[in-house]
């Protein structure tokens, strides 16, 4: 068995959960079968398993509107994925950026096609801010790829329900295979020097956010929640890679306004920090917060839990299957309509509810420690990349019969 993984993100260019997924899945699958990765970038690893080939796109001559450049450069790479000879038994797609490449491989090379759903375009209407008319194209591309795939892997049962409601796909073609974590890498660490490097007050407990600045991650709602946190609460925002200049400006204005109004410390780290530093932040935070308004799974919650930190997260998507309310963290209800999650939110109510959950745990360090231990135990029992790779390989064999 040889698997060809198509992905936009692969080390060293990772900025989200899908990239983390492919990184660790490729590593574990390579212990079981032959793996090749084709990705966006300049990566080149040959004579090893997995082999990795990066593909670049030159958009300097594009005269199309700027929001369409990422769409057309993705299609350019997908074409080049296929002009390089493919010798594999199955092609496995990750995110809409690679769907066109998978369609070409399935039709031109006759390969069975698996597709992992990390998110769904119809449930991310704010992407129009970023892509403009390109969003309509990604809607069509995702629908086409999902409905022609031999297997559509859902990363949670909630995601499976979304797939079945939005697309014409037989239920038996939609298995659920969770994301995972490496608990040997993500574990509590005592390296307090990293906190000093990033300007964090070692003597004041802090609540932590890690993620991109995007509507989906709900970061602005968390910033607005700071007004309702207990006085003196330290907040660390490890938040970068804004989707658009508009949301970057909105985030900057929200942080500045809260700094004027509140007496607590706000540390905003805008760099994409190294994984060891991120693990240290998880390990020393009293509470981790995931305020996402749409989250098919949420690997960052596993990262925090593996480092024995309780999670306050929105009660949406796969997070309802990761966080055990009252045992490994707290789930905050989010009043939303599936068709348009961003517009359905009462921003003030949601920010107050987030603050309520954070305050409840920040006030009780013993409860946080107990939840943290329970969270790591849940990770060890339920979310192993080795087990996920075995499930994925079994699926490959099923669709290549």
Q: Which residue has the higher pLDDT, 289 or 335?
A: 289
Report the pLDDT averaged over residues 179-184.
92
Q: What percent of the chain has pLDDT over 90?
A: 84
Q: Please check whether residue 49 is in contact with residue 34, taking contact to mean a CB–CB distance below 8 angstroms.
A: yes
List, in order, residues 6 or more apart from 23 with CB less than 8 Å away.
10, 11, 14
Packing angle of the helix pair 99-109, 69-83 (nearest 10 deg): 30
Query: Is it true that domain 193-382 has CATH number 3.90.25.10?
Result: no
Q: How many whole angstroms separate alpha carbon 308 and alpha carbon 281?
A: 11
pLDDT of residue 136: 96
Task: Report the DSSP beta bridge partners of residue 7.
Answer: 39, 94
Q: pLDDT for 214-256, tens place per residue?
A: 988 999 999 999 999 999 899 999 999 888 899 999 999 999 9
Confidence check: pLDDT of 342 > 90:
no
Q: pLDDT for 251-264, tens place per residue?
A: 999 999 999 988 88
Residue 296: name the closest of 208, 179, 215 by CA.
179
pLDDT of residue 272: 83
Q: How many whole angstroms separate alpha carbon 291 and alpha carbon 340?
A: 17
**Which part of the chain is CATH 3.40.50.2000?**
2-180+384-399, 193-382
Q: pLDDT for 193-214, tens place per residue?
A: 889 999 999 999 999 999 989 9
Q: pLDDT for 115-148, tens place per residue?
A: 999 999 999 888 898 899 999 999 999 999 999 9
Sign, Cα dihedral of 37, 38, 43, 44: positive
Task: Enter the tokens of residue 103.
Answer: 């369609």
pLDDT of residue 338: 44
Q: How many whole angstroms separate alpha carbon 200 and alpha carbon 192?
A: 10
Measured from the Cβ of residue 269, the count of other Cβ atoms closer than 10 Å reads: 19
Sign, Cα dihedral of 348, 354, 356, 362: negative
Average pLDDT along the chain: 94
Length of the chain: 401
Confidence check: pLDDT of 339 > 90:
no
Task: Name the pLDDT band for 343 (thresholds 50, 70, 90).
Answer: low
Task: Enter the tokens of residue 308.
Answer: 């024995």
- Return the minimum-mean-pLDDT range out of 59-73, 114-128, 329-343, 372-386: 329-343
pLDDT of residue 347: 87
Q: pLDDT for 26-51, tens place per residue?
A: 999 999 999 999 999 999 999 999 99
Instruction: Say what the pTM is.
Output: 0.86
Residue reference for tokens 């006085």: 231
Backbone φ/ψ region at 61: left (φ over 0), alpha (ψ -120 to 50), beta: alpha
Please give the CATH number for the structural domain made up of 2-180+384-399: 3.40.50.2000
Report the pLDDT averaged over residues 56-83.
96
pLDDT of residue 192: 84
Confidence check: pLDDT of 344 > 80:
no
pLDDT of residue 337: 44
Q: How far is CA 226 from CA 290, 310, 341, in A?
A: 14, 18, 22
Q: Please check whether residue 3 is in contact with residue 92, taking contact to mean a CB–CB distance below 8 angstroms.
A: yes
Task: Report the DSSP beta bridge partners of residue 40.
Answer: 55
SS3 labels along the chain: CEEEEEECCECCECCCHHHHHHHHHHHHHCCCCEEEEEEECCCEECCCCCEEEEECCCCCCCCCCHHHHHHHHHHHHHHHHHHCCCCCCEEEEECHHHHHHHHHHHHHHCCCEEEEECCCHHHCCCHHHHHCCHHHHHHHHHHHHHHHCCEEEECCHHHHHHHHHHCCCCHHHCCECCCCECCCCCCCCCCCHHHHHCCCCCCCCEEEEEEECCHHHCHHHHHHHHHHCCCCCEEEEEEECCCCHHHHHHHHHHHHHHHHHCCCCEEEECCCCCHHHHHHHHHHCCEEEECCCCCCCCHHHHHHHHCCCCEEEECCCCHHHHCCECCCEEEECCCCCCCCCCCCCCHHHHHHHHHHHHHHHHCCHHHHHHHHHHHHHHHHHHCEHHHHHHHHHHHHHHHCC
pLDDT of residue 335: 60
């Amino acid at each position: 068995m040889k698997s060809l993984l198509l992905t936009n993100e692969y080390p060293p260019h990772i900025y989200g959960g899908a990239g983390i997924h492919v990184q660790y899945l490729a590593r574990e699958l390579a212990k079981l079968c032959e793996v090749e990765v084709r990705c966006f970038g300049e990566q080149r690893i040959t004579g090893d398993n997995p082999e990795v080939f990066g593909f670049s796109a030159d958009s300097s001559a594009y005269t199309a509107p700027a929001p369409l450049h990422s769409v057309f450069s993705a299609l350019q790479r997908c074409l080049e994925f296929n002009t390089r000879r493919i010798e594999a038994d199955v092609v496995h797609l990750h995110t809409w950026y690679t769907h066109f490449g998978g369609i070409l491989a399935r039709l031109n090379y006759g390969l069975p096609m698996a597709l992992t759903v990390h998110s769904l375009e119809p449930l991310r209407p704010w992407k129009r801010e970023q892509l403009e008319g390109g969003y309509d194209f990604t809607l069509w591309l995702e629908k086409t790829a999902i409905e022609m795939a031999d297997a559509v892997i859902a990363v949670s049962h909630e995601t499976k329900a979304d797939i079945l409601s939005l697309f014409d796909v037989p239920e038996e073609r939609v298995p659920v295979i969770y994301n995972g974590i490496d608990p040997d890498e993500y574990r509590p660490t005592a390296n307090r020097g990293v906190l000093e490097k990033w300007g964090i007050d070692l003597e004041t407990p802090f609540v932590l956010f890690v993620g991109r600045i995007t509507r989906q991650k709900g970061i602005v709602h968390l910033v607005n929640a700071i007004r309702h946190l207990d006085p003196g609460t330290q907040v660390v925002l490890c938040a970068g890679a804004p989707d658009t200049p508009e949301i970057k400006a909105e985030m900057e204005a929200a942080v500045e306004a809260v700094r004027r109004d509140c007496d607590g410390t706000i540390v905003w780290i805008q760099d994409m920090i190294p994984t060891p530093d991120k693990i240290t932040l998880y390990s020393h935070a009293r509470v981790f917060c995931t305020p996402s308004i749409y989250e098919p799974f949420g690997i960052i919650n596993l990262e925090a839990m593996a480092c024995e930190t309780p999670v306050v997260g929105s009660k949406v998507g796969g997070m309802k299957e990761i966080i055990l309310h009252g045992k490994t963290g707290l789930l905050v209800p989010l009043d939303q309509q599936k068709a348009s999650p961003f517009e359905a939110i009462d921003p003030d109510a949601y920010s107050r509810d987030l603050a309520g959950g954070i305050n409840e745990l920040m006030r009780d360090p013993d409860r946080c420690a107990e939840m943290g231990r329970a969270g790591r135990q849940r990770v060890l029992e339920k979310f192993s990349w080795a087990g996920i790779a075995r499930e994925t390989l079994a699926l490959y064999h099923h669709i290549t019969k």
